[in-house]
Amino acid sequence: MDRKMTVTVSYLQMLRRPESLDLTPPREGLTVVRASSPTVPYYRFLYNTVGEPWLWVDRRKLSDQELAPIIQDPAVEIYVLSVDGSPAGFAELDLRKLPDVEIAYFGIMPGFIGRGLGPYLLRWAIERAWSRTPAPARLWLHTCTLDHPKASDTYRRAGFEIYDSRIEIQDDPRPL
């Protein structure tokens, strides 16, 4: 028996660079580094660890041969947030459809949630996206009711506005 879930997907966008972004780290020992052309196992570690509590499955469905060209595309930028050298989250900017830039994936690993790292990494990713030359026409992302309960509010506080919302019926990825 196939189990289904009802999920509300919200699409948010930002049409201009924010006037000011507080990029002050919430604590010492934070670094954000680009993982240029990451290996598939490393990317799966990031994606699966961040996404497991929120039932992220889209990239899990891809074979290694399907995933590698996406994450190793020069127009896909993956940035890893580390706390004292340990990976704590990541942001993935997809520049393959310029002049739009998508924050394709974004999140904090479960052991680091609640420390102010999500808003910090989001502001960092926003600044990185808007610092491009030429600047994007828009920065966008999507979230859903399966994401962290504060995700949508965090995106809106950072300057994103909802431009569309849809209700989808999806297969429940949890084991029966």
List CB contacts of 117: < 8 A, sequence separation 6 or more: 26, 30, 81, 83, 88, 89, 108
CA 69 to chain centre: 18
pLDDT at 176: 43
Domains of the chain (ranges; CATH) run 4-171 (3.40.630.30)
Query: pLDDT, tens digit, for every residue of 23-49?
Result: 888 889 999 999 999 999 999 999 999
Q: For tokens 């704590």, what's the residue?
A: 88
Query: pLDDT, tens digit, for every residue of 62-118?
Result: 999 999 999 999 999 999 999 999 999 999 999 999 999 999 999 999 999 999 999
